[in-house]
Amino acid sequence: MSSRDQAATNCSGGSSGNKEADDTREEWEIRRDELKATGDGHFRSKAYQPAIQTYADALQLDPTNHIILSNKSAAHLANGEKSKALHDARKCVEHSDGKWSKGHTRLAAAMMSLGRYGEAADAYSTVLNELDPNNEVAKRGLEDCRKKEQQLREEKERELRKMQEVLDQQKKAEKEAQEEKETKTKNDNSDEGEEDDLLDDFFSEVEKATEKPKPTKNTPDNDSGEEPTNRIKTQMNDLGTSQSQIDRLLQVNYEWKNLNPFYVLDIPHTIDDDSIISARYRALSLLVHPDKCLDDPVRAKTAFEQVRKAMNQMNDVDKRKHVRALIDEGMKQGKRDWKEECSKSSNVHPDNKEGLAQAQSKATMKIFAEIEQKRREIERRKRKFEQRERAQEDDEKKKETDERRFHNEWREGDRVDKRVGNWRDFQVDGKKKRTS
């Protein structure tokens, strides 16, 4: 029987029934098995930290013992140290040549604790398909993995449905608001129907810039390329000077204000025409490009990056739709905030369009800022978790290296021969005394 096979059995101390078995093992093997038995006792009494330390001491004598590695992985997992449990489980599978089913179930359990249900299912499937088709632990584990994956899919589907419901409600509210506005315009004969006059002026200019000229004898056809050029020139005239746009894009707290790509491109969020958005982007890029702003190239470069970042968002149809929904919500919230402010102060007039626009802009910016803060917090937590996992893995690797070095030095030195020789001399002397 090999030393590793002997480690699979629990040592029972100095009972007479096992004396002959003890006689076939070397002294370090006896000590290893004693430590393993002590660790097993700690584990059964739920003293997981002492069990982990005792298993680690046993592994110093036999670093590749897959059974002790399996037990140490179980102790780490029971102690809430998921990454360390996964590390030991991987070493267990490695040193058992992948042929020990319990090693794979240990690996799967550690992966499940970390939420890696797909990888855990693969480990359980390896046991059932290649090693032990009737393994009950693997069967139950595989079933649990599938249930967890199904729950995750259902949660994602619920989130998507909720998001779609919100978007549908916003679209419905936008449609009702548009119909209400059209009805009001028809019934109002005065000049007070000029809400959002800047946006209406821009729409008019866009329509003029994008209107296809009627072909005449003296007019070049649409393939001449003059229409896009005229459109960009019109956009540039509407945007003003390079310096004014750089100042707008790099004003105080611009990182938060520029989270809204429609604000960066300085167009209404109701525009969804790719040709108009593209023309606006090219016109704004020409104004703030560092090569065109030699008097202020550093700030121009930063402003240009903000424009390019906004256009990347606009090129994604789903992101653009999501941004538009957020702005709609901000406009509604701003209107509610404005009405509340007007009701509290007699000095504020509800018909003040500039005040309403400022309230809507503030509410919209707040929504974008809150979402960005949540995103950054998630990223921070993710980085912190990854750093902790890497640190744990580095500690385990260092510990494993130290154990391997100690093991090699101990075996290469003459201590093993001396200790084994002393043990054999003791056995010979003992037999001589018994026979005499």
Distance separating alpha carbons of residues 240 and 368, to the nearest angstrom? 27
Instruction: Quote the pLDDT of residue 199.
Output: 42
pLDDT reading at 113 higher than 60: yes
Residue with tokens 């899919």: 153
Question: Is 0.95 surpassed by the pTM of this model?
Answer: no
Overall average pLDDT of the 276-290 stretch: 87
Instruction: Quote the pLDDT of residue 400.
Output: 77
pLDDT reading at 216 higher than 50: no
Instruction: Quote the pLDDT of residue 13.
Output: 39
How confident is residue 156, by pLDDT bands cut at 50, 70 and 90?
Answer: confident
Overall average pLDDT of the 118-137 stretch: 90
Overall average pLDDT of the 11-32 stretch: 62
pLDDT reading at 10 higher than 60: no
Instruction: Quote the pLDDT of residue 411.
Output: 65
Each residue's pLDDT tens digit, 347-394: 777 777 888 888 888 888 888 888 888 888 888 888 888 888 888 878
Q: Which residue has the higher pLDDT, 153 or 137?
A: 137
Distance separating alpha carbons of residues 84 and 82, to the nearest angstrom? 5
How confident is residue 175, by pLDDT bands cut at 50, 70 and 90?
Answer: confident
Mean pLDDT, the chain, integer: 78
